[in-house]
């Protein structure tokens, strides 16, 4: 669910309720601190009075309007207010953060008294161990909150997105862009994914699960976005040691480019992507597999000159197979000792056995694929043999139905045989920029909207495992935006 999908009545009701609860808490807090209570209902002014009561600089009001920073400033102000009214305990702080502003009203309207500005109250004496414990817990809480709501760091482990993204690139991925998801697995060790660091021990309790909802977002996934998502298929990538499968929000992370969004019709002709019949602009660093015909050995320095990674080239009888962009292929073809450089295409109508959705019905391959319409919320299909071959696995695996039975041209959902089916979710079609070395939607299908994690924003570090000691860091890639 996205921001513009929320019912306006719900949004307005939520905002008004929050405003009233905050205002009523401020009203009583301000009166107890010798201020005029009505100011607690005046936007901005109430934060100004709040800062005055707790002893923080008044100009912090400005910081409350700066994204990310406002979270930490607001949290500090929140905890300061509780301290100013004698609420020092760790339990008070946890309840005040998790259940604000409800717990703040409880503090304000009970028999608490204003003690002093939080910045001028002597800190209670704590043992060395307790002080460090509380500091660590607070740091973990902040890191977990930022990781959930705003940003999370990821590393590129494979070459499916080269050259747009390289093996060893460390990325920051924006969760706010598509809306953070509420945790499906609440009983989990903080700052972990599937297992506890350095072990094969699950980091969560599989039996404890909640529905996952998506919070308001800045926007939706758009075509050509570079997206991180949970790999949707229940196969060995998502299988636990006990034979079960990880829940949706803990499935293995993949990163690909979205080439088609819900409702669009995708077709690939000789590697070129078409959407709704129109030829699409290719990613600037897109790669394919080429055969370099030559009788000579090509030195590593030649490949390095053209940035052809050692993992993306192999010596073959009569030459080399290498993955590279089209313009690099044209440059290499000009070399005196190279006879030709040929794009390696699978002929049209020669199917790959593992192609999506079903090679028995659709003789497609990585280079000639489709046409295939990406399901969208409200899209209705007729139940017949061809449509069930195309969409049956999606209906069965991702639509959230209690039971699905498919038998050639029959579809039974929740015990009822249907003549047509209407999709409940939006889906996306993802492909890697290294088009001939990518395990993507061409082989395992659509990505449900539930599985979207965030948009890749920028590279904050990049390590070249093949580089020398001095050149391990790719300095030129640091803080590069992702296109």
Strand partners, 428: 447
CB atoms within 10 A of CB 99: 12
Phi-psi region of 55 (alpha: psi -120 to 50; beta: other; left: phi over 0): left
Residue 242 in 3-state DSSP? coil
- Token pair 């301000």: residue: 30
Question: Which residues are annotated as catalytic?
Answer: 160, 256
Q: How far apart are the C-alpha atoms of 301 and 307, rounded to whole Å?
A: 9
| Closest by CA position to 215, among listed 247, 242, 269, 178 | 178
Q: How far apart are CA 157 and CA 160, in angstroms?
A: 9
Phi, psi angles (nearest 5°) of residue 417: -75, 130
Nearest to residue 258, comparing CAs of 375, 394, 428? 428
- What order do you get walking across the sheet with 272-275 strand by strand? 278-279, 272-275, 265-269, 369-373
**Phi, psi (deg, nearest 5) at residue 91:** -65, -40
Quote the CA–CA distance of 409 and 148 in Å, as a whole number. Answer: 43
* Residue 13: its H or E element: helix 8-32
- Distances in Å between the alpha carbon of 90 and those of 130, 135, 297? 10, 11, 68
The pair of three-digit structure tokens given for residue 239, joined into one six-digit string: 């299988």
Q: How far lies 476's CA from each of 129, 153, 461, 466, in Å?
A: 43, 19, 10, 16
In angstroms, the CA 357 to CA 361 distance is: 8
Q: Which two tokens stand for residue 238?
A: 């998502």
DSSP secondary structure letters along 215-238? PP-S----TT-EEEEE----SGGG
Question: Read out DSSP for 352-401?
Answer: -TT-SS-TTT----SSSEEEEEPP-TT-EEE-SHHHHHHHHHHHHHHS--
């Amino acid at each position: 669910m996205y921001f513009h999908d929320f019912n306006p009545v719900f949004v307005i009701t939520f905002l008004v309720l929050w405003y009233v609860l905050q205002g009523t808490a401020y009203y009583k807090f301000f009166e107890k601190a010798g201020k005029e209570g009505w100011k607690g209902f005046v936007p901005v002014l109430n934060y100004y009075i709040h800062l005055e009561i707790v002893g923080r600089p008044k100009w912090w009001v400005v910081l409350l309007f700066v994204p990310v920073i406002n979270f930490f400033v607001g949290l500090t102000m929140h905890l300061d207010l509780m301290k100013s009214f004698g609420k020092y305990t760790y339990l008070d702080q946890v309840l005040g953060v998790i259940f604000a502003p409800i717990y703040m009203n409880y503090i304000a309207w009970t028999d608490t008294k204003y003690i002093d500005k939080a910045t001028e109250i002597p800190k209670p004496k704590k043992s060395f161990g307790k002080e460090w414990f509380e500091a660590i817990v607070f740091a973990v809480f902040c890191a977990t909150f930022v990781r959930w709501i705003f940003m999370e760091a990821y590393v590129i482990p494979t070459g499916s997105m080269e050259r747009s993204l390289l093996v060893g690139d460390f990325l920051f991925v924006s969760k706010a862009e598509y809306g953070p998801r509420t945790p499906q697995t609440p009983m989990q060790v903080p700052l972990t994914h599937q297992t506890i660091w350095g072990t094969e021990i699950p980091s969560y309790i599989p039996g404890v699960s909640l529905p996952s909802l998506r919070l308001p977002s800045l926007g939706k996934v758009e075509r050509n976005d570079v997206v991180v998502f949970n790999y949707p298929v229940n196969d060995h990538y998502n299988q636990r040691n006990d034979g079960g499968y990880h829940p949706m929000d803990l499935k293995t992370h993949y990163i690909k480019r979205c080439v088609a969004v819900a409702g669009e019709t995708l077709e690939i002709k000789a590697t070129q992507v078409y959407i709704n019949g129109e030829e699409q602009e290719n990613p600037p660093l897109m790669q394919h597999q080429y055969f370099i015909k030559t009788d000579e050995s090509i030195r590593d320095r030649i490949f390095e000159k053209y940035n052809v990674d050692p993992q993306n080239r192999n010596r073959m009888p009569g030459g080399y197979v290498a993955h590279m962009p089209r313009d690099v292929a044209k440059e290499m073809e000009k070399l005196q000792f190279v006879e030709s450089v040929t794009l390696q295409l699978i002929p049209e109508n020669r199917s790959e056995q593992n192609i999506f959705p079903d090679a028995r019905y659709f003789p497609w391959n990585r280079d000639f694929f489709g046409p295939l319409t990406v399901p969208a919320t409200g899209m209705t299909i007729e139940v017949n043999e061809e449509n069930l071959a195309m969409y049956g696995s999606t209906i069965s695996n991702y639509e959230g139905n209690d039971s699905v039975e498919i038998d050639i041209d029959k579809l039974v959902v929740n015990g009822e045989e249907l003549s047509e089916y209407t999709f409940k979710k939006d889906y996306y079609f993802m492909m890697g920029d290294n088009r001939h070395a990518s395990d993507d939607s061409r082989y395992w299908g659509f990505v449900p909207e539930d599985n979207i994690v965030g948009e890749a924003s920028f590279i904050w570090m990049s390590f070249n495992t093949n580089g020398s000691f001095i050149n391990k860091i790719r300095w030129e890639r640091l803080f590069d935006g992702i296109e």
